[in-house]
Structure 1
Amino acid sequence: MILFGLFFGFLFGVNAQIDTAKVVASDDDSLVHGTFNSVKEKDMPNGVSVLNPSEYLDKHYGTYPLDGTAAFVGGANLWNLGDHLVLIDGVQREIRDITATEIEQISFLKGANAIVLYGSRAANGVVLITTKRGKAGDKQMNVRVNAGLNMPKAYPEYLNSGEYMTFYNQARENDKLAALYSDEEIANYTGHTNTDRYPDVDYYSSDYLKKMYNTYSVNGDFSGGNDIAQFYLFGAYESNNSLLNFGESQNALNSRLSVRGNIDLKLNDYIKTYVNISTVYNSDKSGNGNYWEKAASAKPNKFSPLIPINSIMSSAKDALSLLEENSSYLIDGNYLAGGNSEFGTTAFGDEYLTGYKNYIDRRFQYTSGVDIDLRNVIDGLSFHGQVSIDYINKYKQSVDNGYAVYEAEWQHFTEGDSIVGLTKHGKDTRSGNQNLSEQWNHNVMESFIHFDYTKTFNDKHNLDVVLLAAGARKREFGEFQSYTNANVGLQLSYNLDHKYYVDFSGSLVNSTKLPKDKRTAFSPTIGLGWVISDEDFLKGGIFDRLKLSATAGEVNTDLNFEEYYMYQGIYSRSSYFSWRDDKYKNQGFTPTHGENLDLGYVKRKELSFGVEALMLNKMLAFKANAFFIKKDGLPQQAYSQYPSYFKTGYPSGSFVPFINYGVNNYKGFDFEINYRKQFGEVALTIGAAGTYVKTKVLKTEEEFGIEDYRSKIGKPTDAIFGLQSDGFFMSDEEAANTTIKQTFGGELRGGDIKYVDQNGDNVIDNRDQIKLGTWGSPFNFGLNVTAEFKNFTLFVLGTGSLGGIAVKDNDYFWVYGDKKYSNVVVDGWTEETKNTATYPRLSTLSGANNFRTSDFWTYSTDRFDLAKVQLTYALPKSVLGSSFVKDVNIYVSGSNLLTLSKNKDILELNFGKAPQTRFYNLGVKAVF
């Protein structure tokens, strides 16, 4: 069955991945899982970093596999090249498919020489995850239980009703319009004498939100075996609830159940086989609607969330009749859902009356393989093969009710305010049915086979050869074209006495995203290494080991091809046309892009250098890489290279084909430093890691003759372009008499933003945009500190990033028209505050001039985060005695504790979604 699966996978393009059976070793150095093999760490090429979660998980517990990796691994972001490949036991899967406890090792493959055997899909780097396996010997069981609290860091701050009405009047005054709200009205809302009639809704108050929500988890694994069979079993359950304390979402539950089983069998002295099975079940149940999204847009004074029925006047017959007709739709038996013609659905009505939704995600993953020792054929020869089948099924399970909202007519009497009338908006509906929707599924088949030859000659000459074939096919629900990937590869590695290294690795790739004659390409790489510390002139110095290495290569990739058939001329439906006095109609077609049967692969061209050092009796370890990468031939429709009539305006169409035109450059370095020293009874370990990446566009499509300051060429690949601001117009007269015309619409007034005319044409338009900064942070880094004293372990982890910016372009900052007002408008420009104002004048109009990308709205994203602090206590052996419990660890931890940044208040805010939280956890781990 296994051999049939391997043949089927190879024949139909099922992809190759890591093989954990082959070990190349010469001493007792730790093993590292690399490209289709496992080698001694000292023999790894440069551009590879390794983490072993079992070494740090007891002091730095978390479920997310890559939690804090920037503090351990230089280049954990894989040099910022783009979306990387995640392989779990050699199969392309998602990082969410696994938890940290299940993992034996994580390898970060960054260099071209390290990733080339995985084919075109690996060109942006590979995160290679190897799960735990059983070992021959005593059985062992680990159980871990955790309970945690999630506490919001911050909520957006919006104006209350009185403030909103006051500032809205100010905005209308700025627009030369009459005030909308009278002083009496504002006083009624500010006085809070009857918040049902004069609502002042704070959607982030404790009336609707809890102070915290809970996370619980339990997991356990069991492993063991003998010389013939070994097994590893893992199971975990995790759940968390919601911050909302009302409606359906007060019973919300997000849960995850996962099970994994890995089995290894020795059939005879020559054949071994293994089977891995895992399944993950995710359920995310909550009320219908999106509370956080509506909370960010609903104004505090527009309606009362709940209308108390006991406020309806006894003589209001029509209102009472309407209440009786809809009594089955009351909230808690005492309230009607509030609203009006403008707000026919509300955040509160959604939670109370629309039912619930439950997003189900089910995953089943099967992997099996065989390892055959062929030493009786050729000494040192072996065969390895693997096949995997994954199924993912997602759907939404829901009860979808409709509801009406009610607008109350209030009247004041001597004894107080009463409702004298009700207006109903909408309709109450309850189908009583449970619905299934948003169904999606896909299945993936992958496979590989490879022959390995490993041989040592004369105890010095070490040769390692890998010849492989691999492929993958993924089918997604609703997609006509299946995703496919295939490649064959060859690796020739040689080292002389583990001192001088040379490695040639190449891959012949195939992609159906390219034209028939361009689908095959060869990716060659070469690596060199020199353990210079073994030379006589360095022996006896401060270096215990010093290795220099270099790699060069060209990797062909189709990752930048967002669609299939980009090489073909494609036509799509366009506008309608009619004839015979509009009696007959038909729809036309227009070209999307032209044909180019010479469209080829994008090429990652790389030169990198590495250094690894152990110093001072292995007290200090250092690793660094410098890299120079060019992505050449990015597919673009290069309009500037074709006549203008190749593109039409209406209906929009283009005969311009995609060509290999764009070129981007990436250069930088990464590093890892680890220091360990004993100070009396205290063992101290300090680690630091970082990555610096500088990107540049060398060639790209842009209009002919574009000004240098607007050109993307020479700028970072993630550059942000916008206008340069020049303060505010200080009066209506200055705005009206400006000699530089700003063309973004609306009449300019005092308090509007002025912009710099970059090209001197006395017109401000999109031609005046310059580079403002970059979205990404060029430098990312982290620190980790461990202090061990007797049975106590203190662990501290911090991560940071420098050099990036972001734009305050959401509705919290860009307040205009009839939007909800946040507290940023308090500093808005007025005639009285024009010398101190930090925000443009308020307006009830479009705000087209002020609210556009410019340096006025940018802010630095530089930050350092205290990401984790954990204190662990290991119960002494004297307490455990000879019981069946071997070890017990008790720990408390805090995550996302502190952000140090000039713009902390912005960085810690979420807009239109649940808030960021600090997480406090108490856990116990027991080993049996």
Structure 2
Amino acid sequence: MKYKILHNRYILITILINIFFITSAQDDLTTDSLVNKNVRIGFDSQSDWKRTSAMSTISGEKLSRGFSSTLGNSLNGKLPGLTTIYGEGEPGVAIPWQLIRGHNTYNSGRSPLIIVDDFECFYEQLIPEEIESVSILKDAAATAIYGAKGANGVILITTKRGTEGPMKVSFGAQYGLSKAKRLPEFVDSYTYANLYNEALTNYGESPLYTNEQLAKYQNGSDPYFYPNVNWYDQVLRTTAPLSEFNLTVSGGQNNVNYYVLLNALTEAGLLKKTKNLTDFSNNSGYTRYNIRTNVDVNVTKDFTVDFKLGLTIADKTNPKSLNTDGLFDLLSSIPSNSFPVYNPNNSYGGNALYSNPWGDMLETGSYTSNKRTFQSVLRLTHKLDMILPGLSATAGIAFNNRFEGYSHKTRTYQRFAIAQTESGDVYTSFGDNTSLSADESTGDKWRNFSFQGGLYYNQAFGKHTVDGMLNYLLNTYTEGGNNIAYKHLGWNGRLTYTYNKRYIGEFSISYNGSNNFARDHRFGFFSALSAGWVISEENFMKELSAIDYLKLRGSYGKTGNDNIGAPRRFMYEPYYEGISSYFFGSSNTWMQTYAEGILANPDLTWEKEKQWNIGVDATVLKFLNFNLDIFNKNRYDILSQPNRTVPQFLGITLPYQNVGKVENKGVEFEAGFDNSNTKKDWGLYANFNLGYATNKIKYNAETLYSYDYQNRTGKMIDQPFVLEAIGFFRDEADIENSPLQTFQSVKPGDVKYKDQNNDGIIDQNDFYPIGYNAVPEISYGFTFGAKYKGFDLDIFFQGLANRTVYLSGKNYEALQNNGNIPSIAEDRWTPQHTNATYPSLSTKNNNNNFQSSTLWQRNGNFLKLRSIELGYSLNDNIIKKLKLKQIRFFINGSNLLTFDKVDIADPEKLSGYPATMSVSLGANLKF
């Protein structure tokens, strides 16, 4: 609690400091440019002063600091309202989980809609160098036009285009090293043997290891029969190389503008090289090539053709398995004294419980995945001024495809456990040496076709301006082995009216449908009203010279989410499923049986959300800018089974109904300052952003519980329900005088839990809502940069708060399932050490101590130095001699520092492939 108070004070102080010294991040923060700058708002662009919706934008250039192989991780903390949870650290797997304005539904369909160049698409293959901007659309005014797909917010990505002028060539290269930030820590063999003996004596059993054996573990005199193996050191490199090369060519003339990019990225991964040590393995690695060609052609002064083509080729290789989950699970399982890496005869060590991780990497084959993604967009635009000034028509099609194939080469190998006898060493064999077998298979498949066609209007009439659009949309896609396409179609439109650059009104509407629902429930209307008032344009504001720009905006509307988290498609149709078997006749012949599955619901439809947003944008003293948004979202028609109203003794699987409700509300703040483009020899910029979103389940049709505190209704989404650990049992008298713990019989040193309902029994009824979940309520980021003459510096911190993480699994649970002992178990309870943080040890699976409880919860808040980059650009005289436009050298680091309360693990990555940090050197050349 003390840490939480201090942490929240830190956040508040940071906000106050930044309110006074910095404001909203813009590429060009002069007042005039802010008012007239165009922003992408979905299907078209709009002058920023006309914008009445809540959105945040960042340029691709600002995402390229540091090193990250995944665009999603580059967005960590950069945009207020976007929460990014770090994905897997393993190269080629690191796809983060993202939410806009927190949780809005308790079902699985929580992810935002991804739009790339106006079309629905995937985006994890994109890189910052090919991106013009990334925007998140957050309120109904921005997302109502996306209808039944907009309620979770929209990530809007625009790729770069060429501009008219001479050809510009840019080449960049960087090379660096990555390493694990924090690896799990386990005790050595001597400590393991001692603690194992202690665990046996705790339950009245005789010690397994003699004093002589303990001495051999301690002095390391016999590494074959008394090994001490750190399997993480054996399998992992200290550092792993990474590199990236980037070439772009852009320009335009004779009515043709072009932008071309070639990018190559390589990450070796943390596993040691194995290819040159055996004929049966391969090195771990990830290689990706990005190719992009965007071309704009002005066929006539009124007719333009835009063509965008993106291609990504990604190859990933691992020894042993497709990904490293199984390997890291094995590394965390094997006690350090189990067996040596190699036996005296140079065979692989092993036993009946565990294989040899090093042998697995060298001898069990390799797995290669080949992923190909293809994105293409063709758009035709024709001005129709001859019909109506300001009118234009556009039509576009997009084809996107993703395919992943696998090549598996597998075998088994022989390993041996050794034992000493009077007649010599005895080898016990496990496994057989076999030849390689190959399997070529298909993994992920996704294919999409989209069409858009519409009319756009933009015209000024004196002090009045009118902007409008009307679009027809068709989107169809297939994924995986499902050949039944997902289809969405409909209309959307937007009408914006402004007067005298002061008063703005906007109406958005969409009518669209999905084939996931029954015929009479496939289509629906979604709409939003929004308004803005540019207060700084009023005469009474002219005397306030310090305020250059001030706008108040608000919106209210209805959006939808058709990703409802259903367990299967077409739930309006009844399904009969093979569920069990029945035996007939005297010979008990087995027959497959079928029964009605989940009851059909022909009235099923999408989730809906009504939301309002109030925002303020301001510029002060010509270079300080900020914006503030307050929002409230009410999601309803969330899919739930009516467990509260229909008894389970009916013997049916209850249908899903649109009955659930969730409220989500919060605030977002962004502030920034930037004069780096206004000063010749020096400049500063800074940016601070913060998003806070809290939610509450209003109704979810849950079953009736015995006690009110067990209800999920009224709690946050994914609220943890755990036992409240109140210490360890001191002695038998303490056990006798405490409530009966029913998970198993307990001994002194076992975890004691609070009796929440005071019935004298600790059981399932005592699980209590305690803590937050892993998704934070607060996300914030701070960027600071400076330049002086040829030097430039960029520093970015990201933080999360109001977050709880949970320690579970082999990295933290000592001796469970014949597992290892983590170093945190050294502070275990003993009769001599009662002021402990870890329960007493047991060689048996302890069903009491490792219940979900507050003992294993940790404060998941953190502040990370996400990236830092120091660069130097050569002066003009040297550049001219080399006939270049710019040469810049840089050094950068990613994830270098973490301030948190977990300590024993990275708060974003508690198990599996570890979170990594990296340092790179590089150069950029412009011709």
- What TM-score, normalized to structure 2? 0.89
Q: Secondary structure of the equivalent of 1:848?
A: coil
The alpha-carbon deviation at position 252 of structure 1 amounts to 2.5
Q: Secondary structure of the equivalent of 1:119?
A: helix
Match of 2:410 among 376, 400, 414: 400
Partner of 2:39: 32
Does residue 1:496 correspond to 2:496, yes or no? no
Cα displacement string for residues 613-639 of structure 1 (whole angstroms, at most 9, x for unaligned residues): 0011x2210111110001111010011
Does residue 1:182 correspond to 2:186, yes or no? no
Partner of 1:297: 333
Does residue 1:809 correspond to 2:801, yes or no? no
How far apart are the structure 2 equivalents of 1:770 and 1:591?
A: 36
Partner of 1:104: 132
The alpha-carbon deviation at position 788 of structure 1 amounts to 1.4
Cα displacement string for residues 167-210 of structure 1 (whole angstroms, at most 9, x for unaligned residues): 111111122222222222222222211212221111123x5433
Q: Is the 8 A contact 2:34 2:49 kept in 1?
A: no
Does residue 1:444 correspond to 2:448, yes or no? yes
Q: Secondary structure of the equivalent of 1:96?
A: coil
Q: Secondary structure of the equivalent of 1:906?
A: coil
Partner of 1:242: 269
Match of 2:602 among 597, 601, 605: 597
Partner of 1:354: 364
Match of 2:765 among 764, 767, 778: 767
The alpha-carbon deviation at position 566 of structure 1 amounts to 2.5
The alpha-carbon deviation at position 903 of structure 1 amounts to 2.3
How far apart are the structure 1 equivalents of 2:442 and 2:191?
A: 42
Match of 2:343 among 307, 313, 318: 307
- 817 and 905 in structure 1: CA distance in 2 versus 1, 3 angstrom threshold: closer
Partner of 1:832: 832
Partner of 1:877: 876
How far apart are the structure 1 equivalents of 2:364 and 2:79?
A: 47
Partner of 2:23: none
Q: Secondary structure of the equivalent of 2:347?
A: strand
Q: Secondary structure of the equivalent of 1:83?
A: coil
Match of 2:288 among 243, 252, 256: 256
Partner of 1:271: 303
Partner of 1:416: none
Q: Is the 8 A contact 2:670 2:690 kept in 1?
A: yes
* Structure 2 spans left out of the alignment, 5+ residues: 1-31, 84-99, 104-109, 276-280
- 574 and 67 in structure 1: CA distance in 2 versus 1, 3 angstrom threshold: closer
* Structure 1 spans left out of the alignment, 5+ residues: 1-24, 310-334, 414-418
Does residue 1:584 correspond to 2:589, yes or no? yes
Does residue 1:284 correspond to 2:346, yes or no? no
How far apart are the structure 2 equivalents of 1:726 and 1:252?
A: 45
Partner of 1:213: 240
- 569 and 696 in structure 1: CA distance in 2 versus 1, 3 angstrom threshold: same
Identity of aligned residues (%): 25
Q: Is the 8 A contact 2:813 2:822 kept in 1?
A: no
- 705 and 196 in structure 1: CA distance in 2 versus 1, 3 angstrom threshold: closer
- 676 and 420 in structure 1: CA distance in 2 versus 1, 3 angstrom threshold: closer
How far apart are the structure 2 equivalents of 1:757 and 1:584?
A: 51
Partner of 1:925: 924
Q: Is the 8 A contact 2:64 2:74 kept in 1?
A: no
How far apart are the structure 2 equivalents of 1:111 and 1:606?
A: 7
The alpha-carbon deviation at position 544 of structure 1 amounts to 0.4
Q: Secondary structure of the equivalent of 1:308?
A: coil
Partner of 2:892: 893
Partner of 1:383: 393
Q: Secondary structure of the equivalent of 1:687?
A: strand
Cα displacement string for residues 146-169 of structure 1 (whole angstroms, at most 9, x for unaligned residues): 001112222211111121121111
Q: Is the 8 A contact 1:368 1:386 kept in 2?
A: yes
Partner of 2:4: none
My pick for the range that moved more, 283-292 or 149-158, is 283-292
Matches within 5 A, 1:640-789: 640-646=644-650, 648=651, 653-654=652-653, 656-676=654-674, 682-704=682-704, 706-735=706-735, 737-738=736-737, 740-744=739-743, 746-775=744-773, 776-789=775-788
Give the aligned residue type for 1:160. Answer: D
How far apart are the structure 2 equivalents of 1:155 and 1:750?
A: 32
How far apart are the structure 2 equivalents of 1:680 and 1:219?
A: 28
Which of the pair has the greater relative contact order for Cα pairs under 8 Å at 6+ separation?
2
- 59 and 396 in structure 1: CA distance in 2 versus 1, 3 angstrom threshold: closer
- 352 and 376 in structure 1: CA distance in 2 versus 1, 3 angstrom threshold: same
Partner of 1:368: 378
How far apart are the structure 1 equivalents of 2:751 and 2:727?
A: 6
Cα displacement string for residues 574-612 of structure 1 (whole angstroms, at most 9, x for unaligned residues): 221112235322222334322222222211110110100
Q: Is the 8 A contact 2:705 2:711 kept in 1?
A: no
Does residue 1:539 correspond to 2:566, yes or no? no
How far apart are the structure 2 equivalents of 1:575 and 1:64?
A: 44
Does residue 1:76 correspond to 2:82, yes or no? yes
Partner of 1:52: 59
Partner of 2:7: none
Q: Secondary structure of the equivalent of 2:447?
A: strand
How far apart are the structure 2 equivalents of 1:466 and 1:666?
A: 31
How far apart are the structure 1 equivalents of 2:817 and 2:831?
A: 20
Aligned length: 859
Q: Is the 8 A contact 2:181 2:906 kept in 1?
A: no
Partner of 2:629: 625
Does residue 1:572 correspond to 2:577, yes or no? yes
Q: Secondary structure of the equivalent of 2:487?
A: strand
- 28 and 750 in structure 1: CA distance in 2 versus 1, 3 angstrom threshold: closer
The alpha-carbon deviation at position 28 of structure 1 amounts to 7.8
Partner of 1:326: none
How far apart are the structure 1 equivalents of 2:34 and 2:867?
A: 36
The alpha-carbon deviation at position 26 of structure 1 amounts to 11
Matches within 5 A, 1:845-864: 845-864=844-863
How far apart are the structure 2 equivalents of 1:271 and 1:346?
A: 66
The alpha-carbon deviation at position 46 of structure 1 amounts to 2.7
How far apart are the structure 2 equivalents of 1:273 and 1:561?
A: 39
Cα displacement string for residues 352-401 of structure 1 (whole angstroms, at most 9, x for unaligned residues): 11122111111122211111112222222211111111221112213212
Give the aligned residue type for 1:819. Answer: G
Q: Secondary structure of the equivalent of 1:881?
A: helix
How far apart are the structure 2 equivalents of 1:439 and 1:556?
A: 31
- 570 and 761 in structure 1: CA distance in 2 versus 1, 3 angstrom threshold: farther
Q: Secondary structure of the equivalent of 1:348?
A: helix
Give the aligned residue type for 2:898. Answer: T
Q: Is the 8 A contact 1:59 1:793 kept in 2?
A: no
Q: Is the 8 A contact 1:242 1:250 kept in 2?
A: no
The alpha-carbon deviation at position 406 of structure 1 amounts to 1.8
How far apart are the structure 1 equivalents of 2:782 and 2:722?
A: 35
How far apart are the structure 1 equivalents of 2:889 and 2:68?
A: 14
How far apart are the structure 1 equivalents of 2:34 and 2:626?
A: 21
Give the aligned residue type for 1:111. Answer: D
Matches within 5 A, 1:86-105: 86-105=114-133
| Cα-Cα RMSD | 2.2
My pick for the range that moved more, 195-204 or 436-445, is 436-445
Q: Is the 8 A contact 1:729 1:751 kept in 2?
A: yes
My pick for the range that moved more, 565-574 or 678-687, is 678-687
My pick for the range that moved more, 528-537 or 812-821, is 812-821
Cα displacement string for residues 697-717 of structure 1 (whole angstroms, at most 9, x for unaligned residues): 111122225422221222111
Q: Is the 8 A contact 1:732 1:748 kept in 2?
A: no
Does residue 1:154 correspond to 2:182, yes or no? yes
- 582 and 671 in structure 1: CA distance in 2 versus 1, 3 angstrom threshold: farther
Q: Secondary structure of the equivalent of 1:352?
A: helix
- 583 and 525 in structure 1: CA distance in 2 versus 1, 3 angstrom threshold: same
Q: Secondary structure of the equivalent of 1:171?
A: helix
Q: Is the 8 A contact 1:487 1:507 kept in 2?
A: yes
- 773 and 739 in structure 1: CA distance in 2 versus 1, 3 angstrom threshold: closer
Q: Secondary structure of the equivalent of 1:173?
A: helix
